[in-house]
Structure 1
Amino acid sequence: MPPPRGWPTPLEAEARGLHLLAATGVLRVPAVIGHLVVPQGELLISEWIETDARGNQQAAAERLGAELAALHRHSAPCYGLDHHNYCGATPQRNTPYRSWLAFWRDERLAFQRDLALQRGLLPPQRQRRLERLMERLDLWIADALTQPALLHGDLWSGNWLIDTQGRPVLIDPAVSYGDREAELALCDLFGGFPETFWRAYAECWPLPAGAAERRPLYQLYHLLNHLNLFGESYGAQVDAVLRRYVG
């Protein structure tokens, strides 16, 4: 999908996300050397990370949990970001909002809904359930209980590595400021994070009451994104989340 008019290109957005994460000083990401536009497209030149496939995953995951909690301590006045970017190959809109509920509804769920409508992936019942859920988000999300946290944004098992010193390294960000629960919901969606990760995060910054009930609600964004990227093979998971919340 070509970038919408006025948006950064995918690799330009990735470079900006890596810079933003690196500037916190709390976790390792590949250093950006340069971003070039060439006749054939664009190039992102970054540090080469030597990985250790036999590294101690339990220890690295424990360190990642603590570092991710420290990353989430970095906040901002608004949810969103000063530029739009991409989650995988899908444009991700980051218009700043003061309300997390409104941001999640409009910039995340509604954006994916509109893409799915364009692609014929929202049959009437699925569309009705999704819109009913969006109308009732205040049953589960309370703005008074959330604060903007800097998120990697696409943290699944394929986007963290272990370097030769045993340190976790994050790649392929889709950064924004959002509720930290949304980040952890994705970590849980496809697996790949040992129990040491979850324990270390909780020791540094426990999640608030009700987080487990909200988790599928935050996973829905990524399931809708996968529906839009890969088709109806993700439809049943989308429908299961919708039924959980709105019947």
Structure 2
Amino acid sequence: MSEFDKIVDKKVLSYHSVAGGDINKAYQVKTEQDMYFIKMNTISNLDMFIQEKKGIEAIAACHVIGTPHILQMGTTYQHAYLLMDYIERGKPIASYWDVFAQELACMHSSFVGDQFGFSSDNYIGSTPQSNPFCGSWVTFFKEYRLRPMLVRNEENLSRSDRQRIIHIMEHLDELLIEPEHPSLVHGDLWSGNVMTGPDGKAWLIDPACYYGDAEVDLAMTELFGGFPPSFYTSYRQYGCLRAGYEKRKYVYNLYHLLNHLYLFGYGYYGSVIHCIEKIEGSW
């Protein structure tokens, strides 16, 4: 019996590797009755799958946007795994981007309480992400987003680079504003984490969820290529973006660029410095 047979508890007819990001291995697994999607990593990384499951369940609980159905997670003698139904990609509906914008705005508008943070710590990529509850968004973003990334990148940044980021953090209350309410955010919303579901609409995968400012998700969508202009036009209609977003987005994306510098190295250094320059130019 193969490792896949044990995970699905059925005889596996075939399996093959599929795209699963930079961190996990992923497989499409076929049995006589069903098709599955399995993500695998080392046993020591089981918590990554535990937190991914919590994020997907939080998004699903909003009942406004599609997510994969998680069947189970656990470990074999070789790997940690996350077992999901395999999602057949559909043909995008004509109003794909408008509907996605509307559904994302509805998710961002769902009531999640008055605290920023999340029920547990999780991961942005493979990097640990702390989510203690906090009454101030500016404080949360400074202490639990930017500061940990600055520490992690001590060897990747010069002393003057670090001082520029520290200066940004010291004046963060001049750059960011407190949102009217916390929003459930996907947390890692780039195009690679959006797929077309069988209903022809956008589904969200691989979240790094927490309760934050909805603008962090929109900023992230612009970081690696962006979505079509119609998406942003539609999203703005729902009032989740406020005046000054075009300046704040660089602060939010500094977090992700620092994470990429930490994970993938010097190739992202120029992007970090460019982002810092944009923030400094907004004062």
Which residue of the other structure, out of 155, 160, 165, is the alignment partner of 1:130?
165
Which residue of the other structure, out of 143, 148, 158, is the alignment partner of 2:192?
158
Whether the aligned pair in 2 keeps the contact of 1:129 and 1:243 (CA below 8 Å) is no
Structure 2 residue identity aligned to 1:32 = I
How many Å apart are 1:32 and its aligned residue? Answer: 1.1
How many angstroms apart in 1 are the aligned matches of 2:153 and 2:51? 23
Structure 1 residue identity aligned to 2:251 = L
Residue identity over aligned pairs, in percent, reads 35
Which ranges of structure 2 fall in alignment gaps of 5 or more residues? 1-22, 24-44
Q: Which has the higher strand share?
A: 2
Structure 1 residue identity aligned to 2:107 = L
1:186 — aligned with what? 220
Whether the aligned pair in 1 keeps the contact of 2:105 and 2:240 (CA below 8 Å) is no
How many angstroms apart in 1 are the aligned matches of 2:221 and 2:68? 20
How many Å apart are 1:40 and its aligned residue? Answer: 1.7
Whether the aligned pair in 2 keeps the contact of 1:97 and 1:103 (CA below 8 Å) is yes
Aligned residues: 237
How many angstroms apart in 2 are the aligned matches of 1:44 and 1:87? 17
- Compared CA separation, residues 58 and 222, structure 1 to 2 (3 A): farther
How many Å apart are 1:235 and its aligned residue? Answer: 0.8
How many angstroms apart in 2 are the aligned matches of 1:241 and 1:44? 35
Whether the aligned pair in 2 keeps the contact of 1:140 and 1:214 (CA below 8 Å) is yes
How many angstroms apart in 2 are the aligned matches of 1:175 and 1:122? 28
RMSD: 1.8
Range moving further from structure 2, 72-81 or 216-225: 72-81
How many angstroms apart in 1 are the aligned matches of 2:199 and 2:58? 23
Q: Which has the higher helix share?
A: 1
Structure 1 residue identity aligned to 2:99 = R
2:136 — aligned with what? 99
- In the TM superposition, structure 1's runs of 4+ consecutive aligned residues that sit over 3 Å from their partners are none
Which ranges of structure 1 fall in alignment gaps of 5 or more residues? 2-6
How many angstroms apart in 1 are the aligned matches of 2:60 and 2:195? 16
How many angstroms apart in 2 are the aligned matches of 1:46 and 1:39? 20
Question: TM-score if structure 2 supplies the norm length?
Answer: 0.79
Whether the aligned pair in 2 keeps the contact of 1:60 and 1:167 (CA below 8 Å) is yes
1:211 — aligned with what? 245
- Compared CA separation, residues 59 and 76, structure 1 to 2 (3 A): same
Residue 89 (structure 2) pairs with residue 69 (structure 1): no
- Pick 1 or 2: higher relative contact order, CA cutoff 8 A, min separation 6: 1
How many angstroms apart in 2 are the aligned matches of 1:86 and 1:132? 26
